[in-house]
Structure 1
Amino acid sequence: MPVPLPPLPPAPGDDEEYRPGGRSVVDLLAEEHARIGGLLRELADPRLPAQRRSQVAQVLTATVSRHLSAEEQYLYPAMRASLPDGGPLADREIAADTEVLRMLRDLAGTAPEDPRFGGLADDLGGKLRRHADAADREIFPVLREVATDAELIRLGNRVEIAEEAAPTRPHPGHPVSPPWNRVVEPALGVVDKVRDAVTGRRTYVEDLGNRPQPR
């Protein structure tokens, strides 16, 4: 069953074996889930100094915000069109994503020294682990069955492009379905990136550098 995709440049000729450059959306998102898991494990380390904890929380917030934005723009519409029960599954995940964004907003507004910080981080970690587990069990295997390799790669390319323009901060009250999220999310992303540049906020795992040894 072909997976409906947003408009893309046509593939060369009519060769069904044509394989575009890039990464499968499944591989891309699975790797991001693993990266998010690594950030959660570091955030949960009780030996982590407060400054480092704040930096890890910043990167986690930005990473998850970009990730969820791209999934809502491209993965969930593909699920609705192509997977058995894809509509209800997408609705469930969007509702869960909205809750994750609210939790990210609460975490971002809480100082690492605040006694509430640890509980917020633990609750968020549980939600994000559920998110990754649902993708591994319910979404990725079926998507591999119904989509060609070329379709998965082209969808992965769209997700990567969307993430580059996506917000780096949680905006749980904004549109979560096409076409409006594909208009609103890049605009919010521009505003967020300006704020990040002005404040020196970290938004990528690479920005963290090597972890200092706790004393």
Structure 2
Amino acid sequence: MSSIPVSVVIVDDQNLVRHGIRSLLELADIRVVGEASDGAAALDVIAATTPDVVLLDLRMPRYDGLWTLENLQLRELDVPVLVLTTFNDDTLVLEALRYGAEGYLLKDVTLEQLKTAVHTLAAGGTLIAPSITDRLLRAIRSEPSPFDARVPAVDLTARELEVLRLVAEGLNNREIAGALHLAEGTVKNHVSTILLKLGARDRTNAVLRALHEGLLR
């Protein structure tokens, strides 16, 4: 029996860009189940189609990518978001990650890179490590922390730090379990504990906090 293709929704204000991405994804056996030209339309399409991954542009008229990310959370539409944009801007990267994006790629990526990214997010992984440059790390560490200072971030065990580093590399629970020779359920428990200790709402937020605290080198 063949596996079910990963499904995506493309959100971009340019028709030609959406059609081009659709054509490329279809070559990679990824199913495009919807398109939208701004954030307001995207919310309705995502709610109606429940895709595995959303490909989201940041710069759009009216309701942009950051608005879309924020309102996905408000409407409790739990879907991984891969930001796909032409803007290599540190501030935009940080804001997108803080608003819940699980990955960030520029539009000059190859089809293979895009395919890998979509499958990584669909499997529960992230694309934090490849997307964070040295200058972005410096920006994260030099600015005031947006996280609750009352939540301790220094009491992670050695095993939890190992798991967190692999989360930052984009591995999902199954891949982490294989890398560390643990049961997948054990990894899931470790991730839950890490989120609790770091006061993070999700894996991406946990990695951002860990970067702020200097836990990831």
TM-score range, shorter chain: under 0.3
State which structure, 1 or 2, has the greater radius of gyration over its C-alpha atoms. 1
Structure with greater proportional strand content: 2
TM-score scaled to structure 1, two decimals? 0.26
Structure of higher RCO (CA pairs closer than 8 Å, 6+ residues apart): 1
Higher normalized helix content (fraction of residues)? 1
